[in-house]
Amino acid sequence: MPAATGNIFTYAPATGRVFTAKSYAITPYTLGKVTIVDGTNGADTGANAGSLTGKAFKTIQAAISAINTASATGYTIWVQPGTYTLSGGITIPNSTVLKGSSPQNTTITYSTSSTATMITMGTSCCIEDLSIKMTPTYVSDAQTFKGVVFGGTTATTSFIRNCIITVDNTSTWTDITKTSTVTGVEFSGTGTLLTTMSSLINLRSSTIFVNSNGAGAKRGILVSGTNQASTRDVSIYVATPTNTSSTGSYVGVETNDSSNVGTIQLYATTVTCTAPSTTPYTASDILQTKPTAITNPKFLAMAGIQVGPGTGLVTKSAGDLGFSSFQYGTIVSYNLTGLVRAGTSASTAGYLSPNTTIAASASYPFTTNTKAYLTLPQASLLSGMTVGLSTGPSGSNNVVVLVSNGSTATSFTLTLTGTTTFASIYNISSLFNAGDKLNLTVTYTGAGTSNTAQNLVVQLYLL
């Protein structure tokens, strides 16, 4: 019980009695390692200046400075509802949580006229329940703006959840001849490929929105370092430039680590861009710039982009580059039994139909001008192809398999030569829209008796 501080006398006229009561001093309750930021009632200077022991700060920068000055760890910076404007980029101290009330009522904004990063993650940090808005203004060409950056080893220890991250420089960046690099979240740190990475989700239950104009790279998420990133229940949207004459590159998720190690795993994530109807700007949901080679996709053990269960690529676009997918898609199989050369002469292309066909003159494959094809009922992304033979063509003979979209050949083509009996391709992709015609062409050399290729199996992987 707090100590009494004095007497209070109350007179009741009806009875003529005087009542005596005691008053007590109430000590404010502090929340342990919780420092409060309150834009309405807090203060950074003066007698009521915020502290780590109970009084509220007015700005986020002041709370961070106090933690750094005291070399304190394990603190939560609890930001009360309101809008807080940063005067510069901030770095979250190690082992610190930056927490708002809700993205709907707690907002951090930052406007800059020069190259800048709004928030840099520290080690073992968390950001949650905030709306984070970066609104750069145009001053000069070739500037770089980043919303949140995971550097060093922070991708293995830090995460963001229930946040809305926006980087939007369209209000003043209207000159489409100017270049700006705009990124929502960048993973630029170091690390190695870990099969346990899925246990830590870096971005969860959050939205990333990038809106820009002009030339340059615009990215929702960019993996530029050797680190490994992961998302779950995240929506990534890179908007159409407000000036559609812009010449930039607009991509939802990109991996572009020069060491060919950086990777991102997407779980239950929606990735959206708006593909241009005409040039000059380019756009794709995902873009695995590096690594360029994919030989044998393995879940949790591959560099680059891994499209996991529940992930939707809204425009089904990957910049015609490869990626790894570990969700249930569609496999289209073509089986040609018997000697391939039994079907037609080497100078004539044969067109296969899905399922199984027997190689026989005049019946396999279709060699008329009317190609056999499969009409796709919905937009699909061709992300891989394998070709196998029970017996190779022998000598210098070969068998060539080509995928086309109607009369337009794709980059999906494989050649088996000599004793080779298997080949695959995963490092490219090709978009087929609803109603497009997918067809498979087979040609070979050695039409006489020299080509020994038989029992051809082709599988196409559609997402």
Give residue 4's pLDDT: 47
Residue 282 domain-assigned (yes or no):
yes
- Ramachandran region of residue 169, left (φ > 0), alpha (ψ -120 to 50) or beta? alpha
Residue 119 domain-assigned (yes or no):
yes
Same domain, 129 and 243: yes
Closest-CA residue to 390 (of 458, 291, 457, 293): 457
Residue 122 domain-assigned (yes or no):
yes
Give residue 2's pLDDT: 46
For every one of its 463 residues, what pLDDT tens digit does the chain have, with 9 covering 90 and above?
A: 444 455 555 555 666 665 555 555 555 556 789 999 999 999 999 988 999 988 999 999 999 999 999 999 999 999 999 999 999 999 999 999 999 999 999 999 999 999 999 999 999 999 999 999 999 988 788 899 999 999 999 999 999 999 999 999 998 887 888 899 999 999 999 987 666 555 689 999 999 999 999 999 999 999 999 999 999 999 999 999 988 889 999 999 999 999 999 999 999 999 999 888 777 899 999 999 999 988 777 666 689 999 988 999 999 999 999 998 877 678 999 998 888 888 767 767 788 888 877 877 655 666 665 577 889 888 899 999 999 999 999 999 999 999 999 889 999 999 999 999 999 999 999 999 989 999 998 988 887 778 999 999 999 999 8
Same domain, 49 and 180: no
Q: Which one of 310, 325, 340 terminates a domain? A: 325
Residue 101 domain-assigned (yes or no):
no
Same domain, 295 and 206: yes
Q: Give the residue numbers spanning the domain of 125.
A: 111-325
Same domain, 59 and 176: no
Same domain, 348 and 291: no
Give residue 1's pLDDT: 41
Beta bridge partners of 97: 76, 126
Same domain, 17 and 163: no
Residue 85 domain-assigned (yes or no):
no
- The length of the chain is 463
Same domain, 362 and 242: no
- Beta strand pairing call for 143-150 and 116-120: parallel
Q: Which one of 284, 300, 325 terminates a domain? A: 325
Q: Which one of 292, 307, 325 terminates a domain? A: 325
**Token digits of residue 185:** 């979240």
Give residue 16's pLDDT: 60
Say which residues have a Cβ less than 8 Å from residue 184's Cβ, sequence separation at least 6.
Answer: 147, 148, 165, 166, 167, 208, 209, 210, 219, 220, 221, 236
Same domain, 205 and 296: yes
Same domain, 297 and 201: yes
Same domain, 202 and 290: yes
Give residue 8's pLDDT: 53
Same domain, 243 and 354: no
Say which residues have a Cβ less than 8 Å from residue 314's Cβ, sequence separation at least 6.
Answer: 270, 271, 272, 273, 285
Cα gap 401→351, rounded to integer Å? 10
Residue 294 domain-assigned (yes or no):
yes
Same domain, 302 and 342: no
Residue 451 domain-assigned (yes or no):
yes
Give residue 199's pLDDT: 64
Instruction: Provide the residue type at 155 as one letter.
Output: A
Number of domains into which the chain is organized = 3
Cα gap 174→48, rounded to integer Å? 45
